[in-house]
Amino acid sequence: DIQMTQSPSSLSASVGDRVTITCQASQDIRKYLNWYQQKPGKAPKLLIYDASNLETGVPSRFSGSGSGTDFTFTISSLQPEDIATYSCQQYENRPLTFGGGTKVEIK
């Protein structure tokens, strides 16, 4: 199985800050990586697919980059409504696997 290592596991930042989360795959997954946002008590929401493509309707302050084994997710200017847990997910191989999640809080 492909292991997805996400860091940090949590972070605290101020409104307007640039926030960066990394995800490392245990083997080459090419561009086959997604990012999801999950607010407490809610289902996950797709933000980024194919490593860098913004899902329809998602604000442009969210972005993703990377390929191979190393990926980055960025919120260019943190907003109060961005408080959530963010998770990466690979789909190069089954079983599909997720990172452990990054909980983003407001400082």
Catalog residues that contact another protein under the rule CB under 8 A.
32, 34, 36, 38, 42-46, 49-50, 55, 87, 89-91, 94-101
Which of 16, 95 has the CB closer to another protein?
95
* 8-state DSSP, 55: P
* In the complex, minimum distance from the CB of residue 58 to another protein, in angstroms, rounded to a whole number: 11
Strand partners for 105: 12
Pair of tokens at residue 75: 């919120």
* In the complex, minimum distance from the CB of residue 82 to another protein, in angstroms, rounded to a whole number: 19
**Ramachandran class of 52: left when φ > 0, alpha when ψ lies in -120 to 50, beta otherwise:** alpha
Which of 14, 43 has the CB closer to another protein?
43
Give the residue among 35, 40, 32 at the shortest CA–CA distance from 21. 35
Which of 16, 40 has the CB closer to another protein?
40
